[in-house]
Structure 1
Amino acid sequence: MDPARHPGENDVSEDFVRELTDHQTAMLAFIRALMPGSSAARDLLQEVNIILWQKRATFEAGTSFKAWSFQVIRYHLMNHRRRLASKGWLVFDDELVERISPVLEADPEELETRHQALHHCLAKLRPKDRELLQHRYASGAPLEEYAKLIQRSPGTLKATLFNLRGALRKCIERRFQDQGTSPT
């Protein structure tokens, strides 16, 4: 017997590795949702995997691995966002992340259903509205820059974005109602 290994540790490690690998997709989706637009999601997942492995002794078998790992992810990403903010990057604040985290912890199948509903609802928008949403949430460029480009005021665009988010929310809710499911 390996003197550095405790009796039964191999079984625990195998169970832990199984849980860790089973949850990789959900963990990556959670990281991407908390760090939208970040190209570092896979790198952050690897950092989290190392932390989870180092903390494996604190995981209680029989409890929710997903809940435990997502909590570790939250703390790691809070520290990561603080490092980015100290370098002048614009990042979500911790309060916002805590508010949206429960939604993001949904099962991967539920997330896929939500994604499909969003895709369906986005397709129903006018091209110029989709372009505005794309610019606002995917480009990383300031809204003021886009406002100048299309010769509209930033305030008008902010109001339009508010209305578009409301319309998307209602469309998604209707889609779930039509399917007999709940969006929450």
Structure 2
Amino acid sequence: MQNQELDEEYVALIAGSQPVLRGLLMALIRRAADVDDVLQETNTVLWRKRTEYDWQLDFTPWACRIAQLQAMAFFKRVRNRGQAALDDRTLEQIAVIATQQAVNTKSHAEALAYCMEKLSPEHRQLVENRYCESMPVNQIASQAGRSADAVSMTLYRIRKTLMECIQKTVAQEAHL
């Protein structure tokens, strides 16, 4: 792959990791303006370190570690100004938990997308109407010519199927 193609792919990895990185930094820092600053610093460091990234590894944990280090640098600056801040050990403990949660959330979201694709078009539409469009069950039932109880039961079964599929998919990924 050429450098430009690698750079474009790397930029896509950075862009795709933004929600996870922001969530991690929000767990560590809390103040939105500071999170924005540290996220920008993280993105800059990620870009500078693009040649160090091992393409065989998952990008998210690597990017989270860089975000964690940037958060630690932020707290060091805060402490140097005489403001209260988390110590490095506490920050490390929070970061480990937040990173794992971020990775798990990403895995579950990917598994959900995969499992949604496995649903029949009718069931997928039902889920989208109810949970993406926030359509009331009565309205869905009316449009489908079914009772609200029947729609509710179908949604229950779909949720159960999705949950089982997600758990199975995530478990399989964990064993790879």
Normalised to the residue count of structure 2, the TM-score between the two structures is 0.55
Residue 69 of structure 2 aligns with an amino acid whose one-letter code is Y
The secondary structure found in structure 2 opposite 1:23 is helix
Could you say which structure has the higher helix fraction?
Answer: 2
User: Which amino acid is 2:102 matched to?
Assistant: D
Give ranges in structure 2 of 5+ residues lacking alignment.
Answer: 109-162, 168-176
Mapped pair 1:30 → 2:24: yes
How many residue pairs align between the two structures?
Answer: 109
Task: Give the equivalent residue in structure 1 for 2:79.
Answer: 85
- Counterpart of 1:43? 37
**Mapping of residues 49-68 of structure 1, within 5 Å:** 49-68=43-62
**Letter paired with 2:29:** M
Separation in structure 2 between the aligned mates of residue 36 and residue 104 of structure 1, nearest angstrom? 13
Alpha-carbon distance change, 109 to 95 in structure 1, aligned in 2, over 3 angstroms:
closer
Where does structure 1 lack aligned partners over 5 or more consecutive residues? 1-6, 114-178
Q: Distance in 2 between matches of 1:51 and 1:96?
A: 23
In structure 1, distance between residues paired with 2:84 and 2:102: 29
Q: What is the match of residue 10 of structure 1?
A: 4
CA offsets 1:17-47 (integer angstroms, 9 cap, x no match): 1110111011011111111235311121111
Structure 2 CA distance for partners of 1:107 and 1:86, relative to 1, 3 Å = closer
TM-score, with structure 1 as normaliser: 0.53
Aligned to 1:69: 63
Runs of 4 or more above 4 Å deviation: none
The answer to whether the 8 A contact 2:23-2:102 is kept is no
CA deviations on 1:144-166 (whole Å, 9 max, x unpaired) are: xxxxxxxxxxxxxxxxxxxxxxx
Q: CA deviation at 1:16?
A: 0.4
User: 1:131-170, aligned counterparts within 5 Å?
Assistant: none
SS of residue matched to 1:39: helix
Matched, 1:96 2:62: no
